[in-house]
Amino acid sequence: MEKAKVYFTDFRTVAFGDGLPTKLKKLIRKAGIGEIDMDGKFVAIKLHFGELGNVSYLRPNYAKAVADLVKELGGKPFLTDCNTMYPGKRKNALEHLECAWENGFSPLSVGCPILIGDGLKGTDDIAVPVVGGEYVKEAKIGRAVMDADVFISLTHFKGHEMTGFGGAIKNIGMGCGSRAGKTEQHSGGKASIDEAKCRGCMACLKECANEGLFFDEEAGKMRVNVDNCVGCGRCLGACNFDAIAFKNFAANELLNKRMAEYTKAVVDGRPHFHISLIVDVSPNCDCHGENDAPILPDLGMFASFDPLALDQACVDACMKASPLPGSQLFENLSKPDFHDHHDHFKNSTPQSEWRSCLDHAEKIGLGTKDYELIFVK
């Protein structure tokens, strides 16, 4: 496979000149986004709206720049993300939209509609075959994501407590999975019910196709039939009271491989383009309701047709940077007994692991780790 082209620009601007959103538009034009036929097409722009309390997510200005360019190319853009599998402010479409609005994302601020990809309760998904998949045969992807004619990812590149970093592959694979899809990637386990939170409404029972749930009439609570539960996660989306959880989390390596396969399901068979910004590099995911000090400096904006090459280029740029004083990464390295892994992401969160994701992505044909970096002024 020939080298993928990854385009890069820094965050420098000229006083009284163009701002960073304009610079982002110039970058993605140079990277070839105009080669995609968007005339009259629905264009999904996948990003993370940030959990409430977190302020390191990408600013809406960047999303607007991408949406505006899509409209200039004749496309019909919409911003999208899918609901989360865990309790928080983004577990159903109503709260998710309110969270997005509070964090500055609205049709007025970004210039296009916002759609939650897997519907009101996170159950509106579609089974998408994974060509060459070893761990996932059919990925559960938000229906609105798959209904789009063109797919664009806009990623905040940062650290992550499990996968080492959150880049394009995580933004796409994990982010486009429905609640059941996220559960499949994260967990190899079965449902469990918190009796104190269960209201006995039986909404979850309607979603179970395997007799994995039954209602305890005497207690007025739902129960799990562990022999029948297949761990599909459909009940998770049906519960409005956070009474259902999947506690048997998959090992990081398995999570990474499933995530790569979900990404392949999303992008296969249609035009796609990918953008990552290394800015406000928090040590943990934007799903946190808080963000710690950045572990690395702001390094630049990257774009490519290849999500794997894009992630590799961003990793390489991060590895060349110096840790920021006062950060989690810097403090870990300052400990006298700390083992230096010579890897900023693993040094920041030693229990994390990221290489298996990129290796598996290349193995299944998602893209290539071999790239040519092209600087755009």
Query: Using one digit for the tens of pLDDT, what is the confidence trace for 323-351?
Result: 999 999 999 999 999 999 999 999 999 98
Q: What is the pLDDT of residues 230-273, one digit of tens each?
A: 777 778 778 889 899 876 666 789 999 999 999 999 999 999 99
pTM, 2 dp: 0.90
Q: Up-side HSE of residue 234: CA atoms within 13 Å toward CB? A: 18
Q: What is the pLDDT of residues 123-177, one digit of tens each?
A: 999 999 999 999 999 999 999 999 999 999 999 999 998 899 999 999 999 999 9
Counting beta carbons within 10 angstroms of the beta carbon of residue 172, is it exposed (0 to 12), middle (13 to 18) or buried (19 or more)?
buried
Residues 6+ apart with CB under 8 A from 27: 7, 8, 9, 275, 301, 303, 376
Q: How large is the average pLDDT for residues 354-374?
A: 98
DSSP secondary structure string, 33-73?
GGGS--TT-EEEEE-----TT---SPPHHHHHHHHHHHHHT
CA–CA separation, 225 vs 190, rounded Å? 9
Where helices occur in 73-114 by DSSP H, the ranges are: 93-102, 107-110
Count of C-beta atoms within a 10 Å radius of residue 167: 31
Q: What is the pLDDT of residues 207-216, one digit of tens each?
A: 887 789 999 9
Sequence letter at residue 37: D
CA–CA separation, 225 vs 152, rounded Å? 41
For tokens 């609105």, what's the residue? 144
